[in-house]
Amino acid sequence: MKVASPLPHKHARIEIIPLIDIMFFLLASFMMVSLSQVHMKGIRVNLPSSKAVAQPTPPPTKKDYTALRVDGDGLVHFDQEVVTDGDVMPRLMQMHKANPNVKVFISGDKEALHGDVIKLLDRVRSAGIDKVGYEIKVKAGPK
């Protein structure tokens, strides 16, 4: 005896339309990518030979900046030359007058007071020097 199921019996179907849509999308994507590829064309460059590289370059003869350093006693050093407190501002004005684009690097010793370094920075700015850098040297500690 056969008993009918209360649930309707469905047959499996393979839908081919979504498969065709996906295949057309992939085909169009690959065509667009292959057409948009640009063939790179190089430029011939004459590279130096090993003999030209082996020759040492001459060291720079003159540096293009002035190093200012404040030591622990509050003295200002212009490129290793100690300048008294009263001569700092005239020397800065003379440097700016000689070259308006003069570059100045300011550094301070470990024992130098922060206020002394800032006072030197204020003097440099009031002399009209705009190109100011800060030298920070960290001593290598034990590893």
Instruction: Profile the chain (143 residues) by mean pLDDT over runs of 10 residues.
Output: 77 86 94 79 75 57 79 87 88 89 89 88 90 75 51
What is the distance between the alpha carbons of residues 95 and 138, in angstroms, rounded to a whole number?
29
Residue 129 lies in a domain: yes
What is the distance between the alpha carbons of residues 40 and 143, in angstroms, rounded to a whole number?
49
Give the CATH number, domain containing residue 105.
3.30.420.270
Residue 12 lies in a domain: no
Look-up: residue for tokens 């850098």? 133
Residue 103 lies in a domain: yes
> Letter for the amino acid at 50?
S
Supply the pTM of this predicted model.
Answer: 0.52
Residue 130 lies in a domain: yes
What is the distance between the alpha carbons of residues 91 and 6, in angstroms, rounded to a whole number?
106
Give the tens place of pLDDT for each residue, 77-113: 988 888 888 888 999 999 889 888 889 999 888 888 8
Residue 52 lies in a domain: no
Residue 51 lies in a domain: no
- Total of domains in the chain: 1
The residues that bridge with 82 in the sheet, in sequence order, are 77
Residue 96 lies in a domain: yes
CA dist 102 → 59, 116, 131, 136 (Å) = 21, 22, 7, 20
Within 8 A by CB and 6+ apart from 109, the residues are 69, 70, 71, 72
The C-alpha angle 54, 56, 62, rounded to 5 degrees, equals 160
Residue 122 lies in a domain: yes
Q: What residue numbers bound the domain in which 87 lies? A: 65-134
